[in-house]
Structures are given as C-alpha cells and as structure tokens.
Chain A
C-alpha cells in the first residue's frame, strides 16, 4: 500500500468554525508533512512530524494546530481561519531514514479548503 489518504476532499467553512483535516498512511513511514498550496503556486511547507514529534513549524499561525496521534495518522485542526487561508492542503509522508537521499515524499490528493 503506497497510498496517502486525505479527508475530506473538499471543505467549506466559516471564519468562526472549527474543523479538522485528516491524513492517513499505512506504509510504516515515520515522517509526515503538511503543505499549503495556493493556486498556481508551489506547495509551502507548514509542519513536519518525525516519529510523532513536531520537528518543524514554519512559523504557521496558531489558528492551524497539527496533531500526530500515532505513526499512521496526522491531523490539522483549523479554528478562526481567514479567507486568505483558502487553499489546497497537502499531506505527505516519507520513511525518515538516516539517509536524506532516501526521503522520497508520498503525497495525498489534498483537501481543497474554502473559507468564507
């Protein structure tokens, strides 16, 4: 199984709502990532979890709250978002081996988020 799944596929939320994005992989990968991608732009790294611990936070606003409950699951909790947060949110995973040249990332299909 080389698949990363993300739910939901689409999400519309108001600025006062609380919602969560979910990402799952069963490849035994120990690194998981959240990216944000605006239209016609490259993905921008938000968070990296390594062995279920947060290792990188790219100065993301606190209205985005990541969580890694176990090695297969990654959540992104959303609260009080702004319209400019509307984007495609991509999850990825990689093996987290000692050799960085083995770190190919496998991406999920993304959640398209619209904040009204």
Chain B
C-alpha cells in the first residue's frame, strides 16, 4: 500500500529556478527520507529528517517536516539541468518497512 502522496506529479522549471515538492503521509513515522531516481535507474538517498526535527539542509536541498499535518516538503534551490529526475519521499514506520510516495517528476530546462 502506498503511504505518501506527492504533489505536484510533474514539475517543469528553468535552470536557476527553485523547485518545491510536497509529500503527505498517513501514519506515524520514525523519519522521512527523500530519494532521487534518474530515469529507470536505482534510487539515491538525498536527506533524512527525523520525526522530532522540523527543518534540515544539505547543500542546495532544504527539507521541512510537519508531523501535525503529516507532510514534508523538499526545496531544491538554483536548480540545474542535472537535477532532472524523479523525487520520492519515503517513510519508515518501524520494523524496517519503508513506504515510498508516488513521486514528483522534475524536469529542469537548460
């Protein structure tokens, strides 16, 4: 079963612009993670935010978590063509069970 819903489903922006993706989930979580997937390939871990954290930064990435609303957002600043990929949130609910959201397909135009 799918835990998270993400919006938008697809996002097209110009290089240099910021990209924001949102994720909502249904159950209580230990942490929420964001992954990137280039077309048809494996996933790469981007950032993990714990359930007791509200915001986290890593390079050009900023993640927020609102456990009261069961939602998270991923902001990519100053996007580059190389950021073109699908982005998934993933929640760890216990017992090493990870559930991925539907994903946002980001296209950055050069």
Contact = CB atoms under 8 A, between A and B. Distances in A.
Contacts, number: 62
Interface stretch (B12-20, B43-51, B57-65, B71-79): B43-51
A103 B96 contact: yes
B50 A101 contact: yes
Contacts of A88: 40
Contact of B45 (A31, A43, A101, A106): A106
Contacts of B41: 109-110
A105 to B, nearest CB: 7
A90 B43 contact: yes
Interface of B: 2, 30-31, 33, 35, 40-45, 48, 50, 88, 92, 94-103, 105
Given A56-B96, A90-B42, A105-B45, 18 more contacts: A42-B103, A45-B97, A45-B99, A48-B96, A50-B96, A56-B95, A56-B97, A92-B43, A94-B96, A101-B48, A101-B50, A104-B33, A104-B48, A107-B43, A107-B44, A109-B42, A110-B41, A110-B42
